[in-house]
């Protein structure tokens, strides 16, 4: 399985009572497909995977797969704290028809590089479906070392990694130390173009929830050989990214989508943001973004 381009780290719409808004979830799947994303990724950080119980996660996967109806690859976040739980969720995602799973490093409890190796290997071998590892050390407390990734890349079911470390050298080592057919995806919207230039495959983007067509254009212009156009598109999201400072980033993304008129609801408590200062920053950033397009 090969995925190249911009993958939407899609949010999970909620009603005001924090139940899943199925109608808007389906709408957001179509919104991303119509924008030209390479794949949709549900239950990532922007999808608030950490806020849902097992049954809710299964419901979200089912809705997204059903609405996509084979038009586009679907990735689902199935990583849990323990290997046993991760296998269970991954088996469910496989039976539901997802194309690949994204598995975050186990979090809260400390884990060694050997522990990471054993965890990812066990899930891949047990479930026998494409696995894209998810490296986000700021949230998990551990960085997946490039030597560990190099070993894991030998497993036929482990096909790639999303790097949300924000450390570009870390991403480079993943690219350098793995085979050419191993997928390396940027998890930081600000580094997508530079990851592509270094030989990576694209990015899993949270800003697609705000301006999906624009994020897709970074990859499209790069593939066309229009570096100046790709760089301009990459630079233009800086005003949006600057709004994340001091807040939970994926809560900001959801608030931004709501301000654009999409009924995506709040982030699940206690991570919802109702902040006039932030709203004003986002509205000002929208004006700047439109002004420089």
Q: Which of 134, 146, 157, 262 is catalytic?
A: 134
Cβ-contact 272, 251 below 8 angstroms: yes
The C-alpha atoms of residue 109 and residue 96 are separated, in whole angstroms, by 30
The token pair at 1 is 């399985």
Q: Pick the closest to residue 249 from 57, 54, 104, 44 (CA basis).
A: 44
Cβ-contact 217, 233 below 8 angstroms: yes
Question: Which residues lie below 8 Å from residue 199, measured CB to CB, with a gap of 6+?
Answer: 175, 184
Cβ-contact 45, 243 below 8 angstroms: no
Q: Which of 162, 221, 254, 281 is catalytic?
A: 162
The C-alpha atoms of residue 179 and residue 197 are separated, in whole angstroms, by 17
124, exposed or middle or buried, with CB in 10 Å at 0-12, 13-18, 19+? buried
3-state secondary structure of 133: strand
Peptide bond preceding 270: is omega within 30 degrees of 0, i.e. cis? yes
Q: Note the Cα 278 to chain centre separation in Å.
A: 23
3-state secondary structure of 185: strand
Is 287 annotated in the active site?
Answer: no
Is 134 annotated in the active site?
Answer: yes
Strands 158-163 and 202-205: what pairing?
A: unpaired
User: Which uninterrupted H or E stretch holds 7?
Assistant: strand 5-9
Place of tokens 């897709």: 216
Catalytic sites, residue numbers: 134, 162
């Amino acid at each position: 399985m090969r995925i190249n381009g911009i993958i939407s780290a899609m949010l999970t719409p909620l009603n005001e009572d924090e139940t899943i808004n199925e109608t808007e979830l389906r709408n957001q799947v179509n919104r991303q497909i119509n924008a030209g994303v390479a794949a949709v990724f549900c239950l990532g950080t922007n999808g608030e995977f950490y806020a849902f119980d097992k049954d809710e996660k299964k419901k979200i996967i089912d809705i997204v797969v059903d609405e996509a109806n084979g038009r586009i690859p679907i990735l689902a976040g199935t990583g849990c704290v323990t290997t046993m739980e991760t296998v269970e969720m991954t088996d469910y995602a496989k039976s539901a028809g997802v194309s690949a799973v994204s598995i975050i490093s186990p979090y809260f409890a400390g884990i060694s590089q050997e522990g990471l190796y054993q965890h990812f290997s066990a899930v891949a071998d047990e479930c026998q479906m494409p696995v894209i590892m998810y490296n986000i050390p700021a949230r998990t407390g551990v960085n997946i070392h490039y030597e560990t990734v190099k070993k894991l890349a030998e497993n036929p079911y482990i096909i790639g990694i999303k790097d949300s470390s924000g450390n570009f050298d870390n991403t480079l080592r993943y690219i350098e130390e793995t085979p050419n057919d191993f997928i390396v995806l940027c998890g930081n919207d600000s580094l997508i173009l530079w990851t592509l230039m270094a030989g990576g495959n694209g990015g899993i983007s949270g800003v697609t929830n705000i301006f999906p067509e624009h994020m897709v254009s970074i990859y499209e212009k790069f593939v066309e050989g229009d570096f100046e156009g790709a760089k301009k598109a990459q630079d233009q999201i800086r005003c949006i990214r600057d709004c994340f400072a001091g807040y939970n980033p994926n809560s900001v993304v959801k608030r931004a989508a709501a301000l654009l008129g999409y009924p995506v609801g709040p982030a699940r408590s206690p991570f919802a943001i109702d902040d006039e200062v932030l709203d004003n920053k986002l509205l000002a950033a929208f004006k700047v973004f439109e002004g420089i397009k």
